[in-house]
Amino acid sequence: MKPTIGFIGLGVMGASMAGHLQEAGYPLRVFNRTQAKADHLVNKGATWCATPGEAARGADFILTIVGFPNDVEAVYLGENGILSSAKQGSILIDLTTSRPDLAIKIAEQASAQGIGALDAPVSGGDAGAKAARLSIMVGGRTEDFQKALPILNVMGAKIVHQGESGAGQYTKMCNQIAIASGMMGVCEAMAYAQKAGLNPTTVLQSIESGAAASWSLSNLMPRALAGDFEPGFFVKHFIKDMKIAIESAEAMQLDLPGLTLAKKLYEKLAASGYENNGTQALFKQYTE
């Protein structure tokens, strides 16, 4: 029988990821702040749990993908949290994009209790989660990574062990820094195309396979051009990520002007009421 998984966080990405694990035959114990989002899994045999601690109780692996670092801290270290109930020998896998220092703190406390811990943020958005094609960047002990690899392989197509605890989160910050300036570039390119009287969709056909190629250009700009601003990844969560990256860069005495500008533009977008839209909504900054 396959190991039991506790899965906490069934949002835009977590619901698909948990669904893949269930389809692969892993018994699930699930928790989400909005219980109705767990119904599709419970109807197929998952066990509903009233708290993160209850979801962790008896599980061999506990996976989390929640919103913000304070949510991660509450889920792991708070009252009725995971570390109050996780059994010795289990492995924690946090898929949330969160602070590297918090990942290290959780790993240290878990280790003191005889529990493994991996920080394993993901990239690929809702499309990657639905297709089980996520990139998963992992920090933690090699032995814990090897044990968790079969589970990670169910959800992702590119799983890389980046180093010790915190390394996964630092790597995800590299990812978000690259996306931030890239999103400004693709939005500006398409706004320029429109002003020049071109058909932006036709322009995409020429530039998305050349030197300008990027995931955002090929996957998010078609959505934006079609007026589809539904979230594959929330603006508010991207702003959170950029703040983490800037704070950690400042601690390393590294100046990131592109990221700083992107954060200002996204904060302006959020203040205009688009914080719950997808990151492609930045296009609105250039066209409205």
267-276 contacts, C-beta under 8 A, 24 or more apart: 267/239, 269/235, 270/235, 270/236, 270/239, 274/229, 274/235, 275/234, 275/235, 275/236, 275/239, 276/231, 276/234, 276/235, 276/236
Whether 87 contacts 98, CB under 8 Å: no
Q: Is 172 a catalytic residue?
A: yes
Whether 270 contacts 235, CB under 8 Å: yes
* Nearest-angstrom CA–CA distance, 90 and 163: 20
- Residue 222 CB burial class (10 angstroms; 0-12, 13-18, ≥19): middle
* Catalytic-role residue among 172, 195, 240, 263: 172
Active-site amino acid positions: 172
